[in-house]
Amino acid sequence: MKTLNSKPQAGLQGHLTVPGDKSISHRGIMFGAISQGQTVLHHFLTSADCLSTLAAFQQLGVPISRSGDTVTIEGVGLNGLSGSSTPLDMGNSGTTTRLIMGLLAGQTFDSTLVGDASLSKRPMRRVSDPLGAMHAEIETSDGHLPVTVHGRQLTAFNGRLQVASAQVKSALILAALQADGPSTIVEQLPTRDHTERLLNAFGADVQTASDGITITVQPHPTLHGQTMTVPGDMSSAAFFMVAASLVPGSKVTLENVGMNPTRTGLLDILQRMGGQVTVVPRSSKGEPVADLTIETAQLKPIEIGETAIPAVIDELPLVALLAAKADGISTIIGASELRVKETDRISAVVTEFKKLGIAIEERPDGFVIDGRQPWHVTDANLDAHNDHRIGMVLAIASLLVATPLRLAGEESVGISYPNFFADLATLLPKEVGQP
């Protein structure tokens, strides 16, 4: 149990560089591993999830070393991985699991994937079914981990995906690199496109049509190792963007934040709600980055539907928090994917926000929140539900409450942001009597 910081006597102030992007850190390891030559990743996210990817590729015979947040990968090429006689441990990481399934499906060896209790409840048929259409042979445990992937020669994919998921799309793209001809993958809605951008930077030919949802992949590219700096993670920056917007008298600058347009949904929503954000783009070799300065603002309510969801999928608990302080009723729908994240995030947000007296109603695919009702704490014992993003959103919510709150499961923040509490502390005012 951790005692959370309660309402500070003044606003949040200062500058912060958030850790590297989780999605890009995972992919940097994977694509470096299947390239020829060396890949160096600076500002790699050294969180538990990304370290699961690092360890899995070491186990597949790829030499990888790490010094602080710099990772060096000696690529073995698309045909150079070697099978592991022991299961690959995916930890808590859905991204590692889904992407590696696509990659391993086209290899010449068999692999078994296992994960922790939360990951073992998450759906895997969304990946094994479309891979099956490429003649992949994947055995799941009733749609879940443990999964055994029997490496096979794959046929090309030509079809539409059933869920709007970058993880599923990326699995298919990685399988398509090994198929017997060009593949065409059609998404439901555009999702984060780090796989497409990064693979092309490593030398692949992955093209997205002007409709934004049709992706063509040419098989058997020769990929070449790259040196790159991972941008700051928008999904981590988002916690401080929301904190600065809501805690009166705040002004916070977040440096070098990734601005890939498939990831900036929270920024767009905050601005539509009347948030005060100044965006100063920085020059970068790879994905776009910017410095963001956020100041406190009175927010208006918002309505969000299905098409806006993929660009803000991981930030929806934070959108719910913004809505809980906006001067009206907000509706977030079309977000049923939240039910199959590290925990059921709709149910977790509703349960925990109700402890703070927030007027929130659960919908099958989202929430309705009345921000005009004053909060009143009915239960000071909050629970992260073993989910990093739930733990962090509750730590931000506690800054809006005078009563000291406690958080169970605070260690879950290490999945994506091990230094979260220390970074937050640097922005908080020094209370009277504190050194």
Q: Within its chain, how far is the Cα of 73 from the centroid?
A: 22
Closest CA to 303 of 243, 230, 367, 355: 367
Q: Is 370 annotated in the active site?
A: no
Neighbours of 140 (CB within 10 A): 19
Q: Is 91 left (phi over 0), alpha (psi -120 to 50) or beta?
A: left
Least distance from ligand S3P to the Cβ atom of residue 337, Å: 6
Cβ proximity to ligand S3P, 97 vs 398, nearer residue: 97
Q: Between residues 39 and 250, which has the closer beta carbon with respect to ligand S3P?
A: 39
Closer to ligand S3P by Cβ: residue 367 or 375: 367
Q: DSSP readout, 76-136?
A: E-TT-----SS-EE-TT-HHHHHHHHHHHTTSSSEEEEE--TTGGGS--HHHHHHHHTTT-
| C-beta of residue 111 within 8 angstroms of C-beta of residue 103 | no
Residue 215 pairs in a beta bridge with: 185, 208
Question: Residue 193 or residue 352: which is nearer to ligand S3P going by CB?
Answer: 193
125 is in an annotated binding site: no
Residue 354 annotated in ligand binding: no
Tell me if 167 is assigned to a ligand binding site.
yes
Q: How many CB atoms lie within 10 A of CB 204?
A: 24
List of residues contacting ligand S3P (CB under 6 A):
23, 95, 165-167, 170, 191-192, 313-314, 337
CB 87 within 8 A of CB 113: yes
Rg (CA), the chain: 21
Q: Which helix (H) or strand (E) holds 96?
A: helix 94-104
Q: Tell me whether residue 83 or residue 286 sits nearer to ligand S3P (CB atom).
A: 286
- Minimal distance in Å, beta carbon 85 to ligand S3P? 28
Nearer to ligand S3P, 12 or 384 (CB): 384
> CB 199 → ligand S3P: shortest distance, Å?
13
Q: Which two tokens stand for residue 175?
A: 């399988």
In the chain, the amino acid numbered 247 is: V
Name the residue whose CB lies closest to ligand S3P: 23
For residue 207, the surrounding DSSP H or E stretch is strand 206-208
Q: How far is the CB of 267 from ligand S3P (least distance, A)?
A: 17
Consult the annotation and say whether 341 binds a ligand.
yes
Kindly tell me which of 398 and 412 has the beta carbon lying closer to ligand S3P.
Answer: 412
Nearer to ligand S3P, 43 or 192 (CB): 192
CB of 19 to ligand S3P, least distance (A): 14
Full DSSP string of 297-308? -PPPP-EE-GGG
Measured distance between the N- and C-terminal CA atoms of the chain, rounded to whole angstroms:
24
Minimum Å gap between C-beta 414 and ligand S3P is 15
Burial bucket for residue 434 (CB in 10 Å: 0-12, 13-18, 19+): exposed
Which candidate in 314, 383, 387, 423 is catalytic? 314
Q: Enumerate the H helices of 344-402 as residue ranges.
A: 345-355, 388-397
**94 in a labelled binding site:** yes
* Kind plus residue range of the DSSP H or E element containing 147: strand 144-150
**What is the token pair recorded at 303?**
């309505």
Nearest Cα neighbor of 415 from 235, 194, 253, 191 is: 235
Cβ atoms < 10 Å from Cβ of 1:
11
Structural contact between residues 331 and 304, judged by C-beta atoms closer than 8 angstroms: yes
Token code pair at residue 18: 């958030």
Alpha-carbon distance of 169 to 150, in angstroms, equals 20
- CA 308, 314, 316, 321: dihedral to nearest 10 degrees? -140
Q: Which residues are catalytic, by number?
A: 314
For the annotated binding site, the residues are 22-23, 27, 94, 122, 165, 167, 314, 341, 345, 389
For the annotated binding site for 3-phosphoshikimate, the residues are 22-23, 27, 165, 167, 314, 341
